[in-house]
Structure 1
Amino acid sequence: MSANASHTAPHDTQNSALPTMEVPYVPPPPVGPRAHMRSLGWGSPFRWLELGRKDLFKHPGIALFYGVCFFLMAQVLALVFKHKPEYTLSMISGCLLIGPFLAMGLYEVSRRLEQGEVPDMASSLMCWDQHIPSMAMLVLVLMVLELLWGRASLVVFAVFFDTGMPSTTGVLEAIFNPKNLEFVMVYLMVGGVFAALVFGLSVVSIPMILDRDTDAISAVLTSMRVVFSHPGVLLLWGALLGLLVVGALWPWGLGIVFVGPWLGHASWHAYRGSVEWEESAPEAVTLGTNK
């Protein structure tokens, strides 16, 4: 009897270790609130501009500081165009990279105004210090695009001007010369592709990181979702930004002192008007659809 018992004991133990039934897999709940795209209309970009104008005049001193910074960037761009025109497109891409990060202080001003708080220069200048990891990753991605953009610009010049890089006067003549229409089209197409990428990746990602302290990947994906959800409205928004910036830079760039901070505040409202969060559904009813 004892031999039989010792022989069957391991068999019983092995059977008892087997599960009696399969447990169905239940996916875990999503972590944190999820972003939803708001419904946008063709009037939304103009509404964002109007809200940005109101924020601008509520704290003109802060806006003036950032406006002077944008003006200095414009002067550097003008010097590059004068002495090294082949690097102009690369410098424009650098401004598109630096501009949104510089405007982060303006986003902070608008964020505090929206929350009923009083913004100040110190909080505006130091608003990025709690978001360094996410911002560093986003900077890395945009820097890679900026370097590729600059290299592509040089390649276009090298292909069409095989006798050497033209002077500033040569570039202007090339742009307005009907014989060089192919060069102008290729140059603008290459620049447009990279500008669209930078715009799509950053249109709401930086204010989203400031507002929600999200990681860079989530912010970039949300930014692209906004663009693909309403491509026509976002194309209009990008066109308005470009036209206002170009108009502000002519002839001496003084207009950028006003336009730069204005567009910075408006970009915050573009984020708030495009994205809502699950936990703020009652607030979404109050804000409406920004049409």
Structure 2
Amino acid sequence: MTKSYDSLQQHFNLPHIRSVGADRPAQWLRAGWEDMRENLGASIVYGMIMAAIGYTILSYAVDKPYLFMTAISGFMLVGPLAAAGLYEISRRHEQGEKVSFMGSLRGLARHADSIAFFGAFLAIALIAWERISAIMFALFYRGEVSSVTNFLGGMLASDGNLYFGAAYLVVGAVLAVVVYALSAISIPMLMDRETDPFTAAMTSLRAVQANFDTMLLWAVMIVVLMGVGFASMMVGMVILLPLVGHATWHAYRDLVR
């Protein structure tokens, strides 16, 4: 497997990937916190926008359990794209500059085509997951689905629904792993270098493979932090999303030479 990835790296002329230890995710969060603290206004604007969008979507989906679950997991799928402006803030902060919210948006315009192309991939993944989720609910879930509370009660009331829940999680996890591996550091790379989305995705895949334990820990930390944001009715997301976004920039800088 390692040889095949090495061949992939040579064939597509991918940048060199560093091997990092399991202590690095905590360092990425600390560095991300410093970026956010030094650019607090612009960072918080991104957090407020995404929190407002997330709250609106969840409010609409609260009486549609399959859509509610899809919305939460979908937020994770498109998170790397939503944080693109935060990567620009961190990139400029690394160069000793302070950047406003509008300045970060102008920075996005430099790589708009590549980011839009990668965004289309994430959108397709999100739509595919929404359709798969709807089909699984329609075919296999037995019980009332008029609200999230009824859904959770129905899950516990039937062994068949417990099997459905397990299958639902497995299918969602497989899709999440694929998207995460291809997007973990792709958009920061597109913001930083003159490269194409395919090369960025293959570099991300290579980075995850070469640092599997560390990147798995990083994924778990992201899920936990985003979970806290959702549990706080998106209020915590105002801080947590910018924190994770800035930290992801430092993950990219640490992993890719």
TM-score by length of 2: 0.88
Alignment coverage as a number of residue pairs: 247
Q: 1:88 aligns with which of 36, 49, 68?
A: 68
Higher gyration radius (CA): 1
Deviation, 1:166, is: 4.5
Segment of structure 1 superposing worse, 34-43 or 46-55: 34-43
Say if 1:202 and 1:223, in contact at 8 Å, map to a contact too.
yes
Deviation, 1:140, is: 2.1
Q: What are the Cα deviations for residues 75-129 of structure 1, in whole angstroms up to 9, with x where unaligned? A: 1242144122111233234423443222111111111111122222222122221
Say if 1:42 and 1:233, in contact at 8 Å, map to a contact too.
yes
Q: What are the Cα deviations for residues 201-236 of structure 1, in whole angstroms up to 9, with x where unaligned? A: 111100000000310100000010011111111110
Identity rate of aligned residues, in percent?
36
Question: Is it true that 1:75 corresponds to 2:59 in the alignment?
Answer: no
Deviation, 1:194, is: 1.4
Tell me the distance in 2 between the aligned counterparts of 1:123 and 1:90: 33
Say if 1:89 and 1:150, in contact at 8 Å, map to a contact too.
no
Tell me the distance in 2 between the aligned counterparts of 1:255 and 1:37: 33
Segment of structure 1 superposing worse, 65-74 or 47-56: 65-74
Tell me the distance in 1 between the aligned counterparts of 2:111 and 2:28: 25
Amino acid at match of 2:238: V
Q: What are the Cα deviations for residues 140-170 of structure 1, in whole angstroms up to 9, with x where unaligned? A: 2222211211111112111223577453222
Q: SS of the residue aligned with 2:109? A: helix
Structure 1 unpaired stretches of 5+: 1-29, 277-291
Q: 1:234 aligns with which of 215, 223, 242?
A: 215
Structure 1 runs (4+) deviating above 6 angstroms are none
Q: What are the Cα deviations for residues 179-204 of structure 1, in whole angstroms up to 9, with x where unaligned? A: 33212111111111111122111111
TM-score by length of 1: 0.78
Tell me the distance in 1 between the aligned counterparts of 2:208 and 2:14: 17
Partner of 1:260: 241
Q: 2:37 aligns with which of 49, 52, 57?
A: 57
Q: 2:85 aligns with which of 105, 117, 132?
A: 105
Q: 2:129 aligns with which of 126, 146, 149?
A: 149
Question: Is it true that 1:247 corresponds to 2:228 in the alignment?
Answer: yes
Q: What are the Cα deviations for residues 50-70 of structure 1, in whole angstroms up to 9, with x where unaligned? A: 100111111111121111112
